[in-house]
A and B are shown apart, each in its own frame.
Chain A
Amino acid sequence: MGRRHVLIGMGPGAIAAAEAIRSADAGAEIVVVGADRHGYYSRPGLAYYLAKEIPEKWLHPLSAEGLAGLDLTIVNERADGIDTKAHRVMLESGRELVYDRLLIATGSTAIPAKVPGAELDGVVKLDDLDDANDIIRRSAGAKGAVVVGGGITALEIVEGLHAHGVHVDYFMRQDRYWKNVLSETESHVVEQELGGRGVRVHNYTELAGILGRDGRVAAVATGDGKRIPCDLVAVAIGVHARIELARAAGLACGRGILVDEYLRSSDEDVYAAGDVAEPVDHGTGLRTMEVLWNSAVRKGRTAGLNMATEPVRAYETGIPLNVTRLAGLKTTIIGSVGSGGRDADLEGLQRGDSQTWSELGDAVAIEAQTHGARVRLAVGERALAGAVVMGDQSLSFPLQDLIQARADVGSIAADLKAAGASIAELVEGRWREWREQLA
């Protein structure tokens, strides 16, 4: 009999870890514990489910045969406690699971609004599939909704409600959308797209309170004294890592569970992966948080292999990348592209977010319209620190390679910064050279 692995969580971190363990140890016992009755599904896919682009059943990446092939035992209940000394996980039913190695991949959860009326029926969020179904159910018959918050999740909800025929008022506290990551032009492009779809964007508008009638949402009050009638209020002001279980077990925690390069927590038999893990970024030497699907998968695979064998594989934080859709525009964000400040519409990271994006590098920003895309590059002396590509994504692939490899672009840096530079030609030319050098 191999080791007994207990994995808490049913998201990409836990499933990637399960696959990695199974690939390394055919005899291992793997128990996956999670309270989500829908099991493993694509959380980012909820945006497309809400927008009516995909039916619910297609959100599940693994077929029944695929899951069976992993030979997992799935325990569909909440883990209530961990006794690290006794190597036991306590479940809500009172049952206990013994482990040799434990993985905590409990993900993150939405931060609730802190305004009067936030407890009213009709205040919604988008954390999981139940939330998406709740929004869809409530959209039937709803006339108006108010969305507050920033970043990707707020727009996913805006677009989802719009697809279900609900009029949306979108509140932003500042002058523009996602101010600490997007440029002024990019923010305005997104806001114009939203306006063109009939979404009413309210800049400099704060949610002061939610007003109810018979316990249900009836309107919102704004900071400047306006009253807007609505049936729903959606809140997307950020997420925090679900660290309560780890903290109660005495594991070292910061914003997430503090892990070493092997994704081990302060207890050598307990690992963490996904949104909840807080590793050190070897580029900066600082601890960093990411709420990204791909990072969760990579963390899961690394932790799983280390759990199945010995802790020898180090997790590379790398340069974060996400592709998302902002008001219908495909948008790729890579590396450091932000203003260095914080976004007043968010109280932390949001889903699909990396701490790195908002960081201010010592790079020069170049922005141009080229080949059906709006492109912004953060050009350092010898390397590209980051990029945003909005619209046609052709250029995002060479940019991804050059940025993530920290390739030397010194030969084109001056030309990129020149007025009227042909950004696409310069980037593609340097990328082809770089590929030939690699080959």
Chain B
Amino acid sequence: MSWFKSDREKYAALATAWVLPEPSRCVQCGVCSFNCPIEIDVRRHVWLGEPVKDSRCLTCGECIKRCPRGLLRFEPIAATHGGRARGGR
């Protein structure tokens, strides 16, 4: 099920956590980007080995839920050591 969080919840979530990829598991299939309700190119962030830092991210979790390889996770920003995903470039 997809739902939109309130703006307050969204900003609170974005301030503390973001969607973090594991690039070595990605095959660029595009399922994440296709299912993003606001068409953020999640796949491109994964290719570049970066968290989804896009300010438009709703933190709805749709990309995490739909990734057929389970390579996206919601991670506290503090735990990601400056915003590079593992195996990122």
Residues of A in contact with B (beta carbons under 8 Å apart): 12, 42-45, 47-48, 53-55, 58-61, 63, 66, 293-294, 301, 321, 323-325, 330, 332, 393, 396-397, 400-401
Measured CA separation A53–B35 after assembly (Å): 10
Whether A55 contacts B47 by the Cβ 8 Å rule is no
Whether B25 contacts A54 by the Cβ 8 Å rule is no
Q: With A55-B34, A393-B70 in contact, do A323 and B25 touch (Cβ < 8 Å)?
A: yes
Interchain nearest-CB distance for B55 vs A (Å): 20
Secondary structure of the B contact surface, majority rule: loop
Whether A330 contacts B69 by the Cβ 8 Å rule is yes
Residues of the B chain whose Cβ atoms lie less than 8 Å from the Cβ of A47: 29, 68
Secondary structure of the A contact surface, majority rule: mixed
Residues of the A chain whose Cβ atoms lie less than 8 Å from the Cβ of B25: 294, 321, 323, 332
Q: Which residue of the partner chain, among A44, A63, A393, A397, contacts B27 with CB atoms under 8 Å?
A: A44
Whether A48 contacts B68 by the Cβ 8 Å rule is yes
Whether A59 contacts B71 by the Cβ 8 Å rule is no
In residues 7-38 of chain B, which contact A (Cβ within 8 Å)? 22, 24-31, 33-34
Interchain nearest-CB distance for B28 vs A (Å): 4
Size bin of chain B's contact surface: 20 to 34
Q: Which residue of the partner chain, among B26, B34, B70, contacts A58 with CB atoms under 8 Å?
A: B34
Whether A294 contacts B31 by the Cβ 8 Å rule is no
Whether A54 contacts B29 by the Cβ 8 Å rule is yes
Q: Which residue of the partner chain, among A61, A293, A301, A325, contacts B30 with CB atoms under 8 Å?
A: A61
Whether A324 contacts B69 by the Cβ 8 Å rule is yes
Measured CA separation A323–B41 after assembly (Å): 21
26 chain-A/chain-B pairs, Cβ below 8 angstroms: A42-B28, A43-B27, A44-B29, A45-B29, A47-B29, A48-B68, A53-B31, A54-B30, A58-B34, A59-B29, A59-B30, A61-B30, A61-B43, A293-B26, A293-B28, A321-B24, A321-B25, A323-B69, A323-B71, A325-B68, A330-B68, A330-B69, A330-B70, A393-B70, A396-B70, A400-B22
